[in-house]
Amino acid sequence: MSNSLYRNIVIATDGSENSQRAISCGVEIAKLSGATVHALYVVDTPSMISETWTAGKEMVHELIIREGKKVLSKVKKIIEDSRVEVKEVLLEGYPSEEIINFAENNNMDLIVMGTLGKTGLERFLVGSVAENVVRNSKVPVMVIRNESL
């Protein structure tokens, strides 16, 4: 018996340990609802590659794209091993904006993502992709906190 509440779930991953917890939770929801999972990795090119940087720019870009593809390949295998339909999505840009745009423009029913749970000055300096997604997304967001918090 499946619940049609969720047909398309986007699981945003960055390859971190905490995103593995988000993958597990998203997969369980997908199993219960019969949903397709869209494993999403956003290459943070605006932060990684400066507009004024010229020497080696293409090589660095290729490396970070390759890393994103490697992460997605691992995530896809984990999800497929759980017998859930999965589609890989690799995007470039500002992570929170790309996650929101993908979810809203592709009829996603739920966004699942992890957070490191940074607070205070560290959160202010680093920013929080999860916080930005929660604040700005029209699609419901499930945030999986770091296990140690």
Domains of the chain as residue ranges with CATH: 8-144 (3.40.50.620)
pLDDT of residue 1: 44
User: Angle formed by the axes of helices 95-105 and 129-136, to 10°?
Assistant: 40
pTM of structure: 0.86
Q: How far is CA 13 from the centre of its chain?
A: 3
* Contact criterion met (CB below 8 Å) for 133 and 149: no
Which phi and psi angles does 9 have, rounded to 5°?
A: -120, 130
For residue 115, what pLDDT is reported? Answer: 82
> What is the structure's pLDDT at 71?
95
pLDDT at 34: 95
CA-to-CA distance for 10 and 89, rounded, in angstroms?
9
What confidence score (pLDDT) does residue 123 get? 46
In this model, does residue 119 exceed pLDDT 70?
no
Q: What is the pLDDT of residues 13-64, one digit of tens each?
A: 988 888 899 999 999 999 999 999 999 999 987 665 556 666 677 888 889 8
Is 11 in contact with 26 (CB distance < 8 Å)?
A: yes
Per-residue pLDDT band for 138 (boundaries 50, 70, 90) equals very high
Please report, for residues 50, 56, 57, 61, the alpha-carbon distance to residue 53 in angstroms, rounded to integers and kept in the order given: 5, 8, 7, 12
Which range of 9-13, 123-127, 131-135 scores highest in mean pLDDT? It is 9-13
